[in-house]
Amino acid sequence: MVKPLRLIVAVLLLIGGFWLWWQAGGSLSGPVTGNGVPATEAVIGAPRTTGRDEPLRPLPAPPQLNEEKVALGRLLFHDKRLSRDNSLGCVGCHDLARGGVDGLPRSIGVGGAVGGINAPSVLSAAYNFRQFWDGRAGTLEEQAGGPVTNPIEMASTWPEVLAKLGADPYLRKTFERLYAEGLSPASVVSAIADFERSLPRPSRFDRWLAGDDSAISGEELAGYRVFKRHGCVACHQGVNVGGNLYQRFGIMENYFAGKKDDNPADLGRFNVTKREEDRHLFKVPSLRNVALTAPYFHDASAATLEEAVTVMGRYQLGLDLPRQDVTLIVAFLHSLSSEATP
């Protein structure tokens, strides 16, 4: 009865996952991300003309972006003048060389302020259907603007930021040349968002999806099969291996049982909607580059990828995953790391 029960659970999770995605505004036609990425690419995956028929989809061709705006966005992403005391840039919490995160349980803001949640990776954010763990931002532009004025992050104001950037002749002239409105809050976050859209890079697994049998090892392929067999693809599928729906943390068992209910970050989507049914509901994170982004989960409670997989098995699938299965899944997850750094 064990295997049929696991199959039933996996099917139910798959149905439930797609129902949640549909409730979140998913569609098979027309844009849903607000990030300039068509729904058929961001949510379901790139249109497949060649390659393997899998629930995971390879990264689509890079979007056509204005290279000058991308370059400007890269400068701003690293510019500490976005913060009140000129001590912190976007890269401070989203180090591109470390999987797009800072490796800390909680990011450190201006003046040593400690954030309330584990910073998510920025490397594949362009293919998320919403931004932040609770989905409060619908676009990359909204996400890019949030930390600037957040008192525990950059703690600045837009007048302060614009005054500092405007005093830089090169930046001022560049904004005037590239944007009709010149230097403004909208043009600043637009440039940063375009830079973030340029970040996704394919992995070895993308090459395997395209038909290259030599791209991943036998152990990694076995891990992918275990990943599918246990139903992990119910929430982690598509071009972003996740990032396209909300899901409750603790489907099969209450993850928050016994925890103090004093951390607003634990409430997830509830903080946005104030609906009781959204308590502990989170945007499913992308698993691209996940081998680089420890610690894991919104609360950084899993220090290693092995621990994270074990926790997912217990609370999301109702399974006490065998050690060998955990090892194989972790091997597969390593194949999702980008082969090049942006």
pLDDT at 1: 42
Cα-Cα-Cα-Cα torsion 76, 78, 83, 88, nearest 10 degrees, comes to 170
State how far the Cα of 196 lies from the Cα of 36, in Å rounded to an integer.
12
pLDDT at 259: 81
- Residues 93 and 119 sit within 8 Å (Cβ to Cβ): yes
State how far the Cα of 291 lies from the Cα of 339, in Å rounded to an integer.
13
Lowest mean pLDDT among 19-28, 63-72, 152-161, 233-242: 19-28
Mean pLDDT of the chain: 88
Domain edges within the chain: 2-62+201-334, 67-197
Torsion angles phi and psi, residue 281, rounded to 5: -95, 130
pLDDT digits (tens, 9 = 90+) for 199-209: 999 999 999 99
Does the structure show a pLDDT above 90 at 232?
Answer: yes
CATH number attached to the domain at 67-197? 1.10.760.10
- pLDDT above 70 covers what percent of the chain? 85
Residue type, 127: Y
State how far the Cα of 8 lies from the Cα of 317, in Å rounded to an integer.
11
Does the structure show a pLDDT above 80 at 73?
Answer: yes
State how far the Cα of 266 lies from the Cα of 258, in Å rounded to an integer.
13
Nearest alpha-carbon partner for 125 in 135, 116, 115:
135
pLDDT at 262: 74
5-13 average pLDDT score: 51
Q: Other C-beta atoms within 10 Å of 182: how many?
A: 15
212-236 average pLDDT score: 97
- Residues 78 and 91 sit within 8 Å (Cβ to Cβ): yes
Q: By 3-state DSSP, what share of the chain in percent is helix, strand and coil, each rounded to 5?
A: 45, 5, 50
Residue type, 116: G
- Give how far the C-alpha of residue 101 lies from the chain's centroid of Cα atoms, to the nearest Å: 10
Domain 2-62+201-334 part of CATH 3.40.50.150? no
> CB within 8 A of 315, min separation 6: which ones?
249, 250, 251, 252, 253, 255
Q: Which of 153, 160, 220, 307 is catalytic?
A: 153
pLDDT at 37: 38
94-113 average pLDDT score: 96
- The answer to whether 2-62+201-334 and 67-197 have equal CATH topology is yes
**Run of H or E residues at 16:** helix 2-23
Rounded to whole angstroms, what are the CA distances from 302 to 25, 227, 240, 248, 295?
30, 19, 21, 17, 6
Residue 153 designated active-site: yes
Does the structure show a pLDDT above 70 at 5?
Answer: no
Measure CA of the first residue to CA of the last residue in the chain; give whole Å. 48
- Residues 227 and 219 sit within 8 Å (Cβ to Cβ): no
**Region class of 311: left (phi > 0), else alpha (psi between -120 and 50), else beta:** alpha
pLDDT at 12: 54
244-264 average pLDDT score: 90
pLDDT at 16: 52
**Run of H or E residues at 283:** strand 281-283
What is the value of pTM for the model shown?
0.86
- Residues 292 and 130 sit within 8 Å (Cβ to Cβ): no
Residue 286: exposure state from Cβ atoms within 10 A (0-12, 13-18, ≥19)? buried
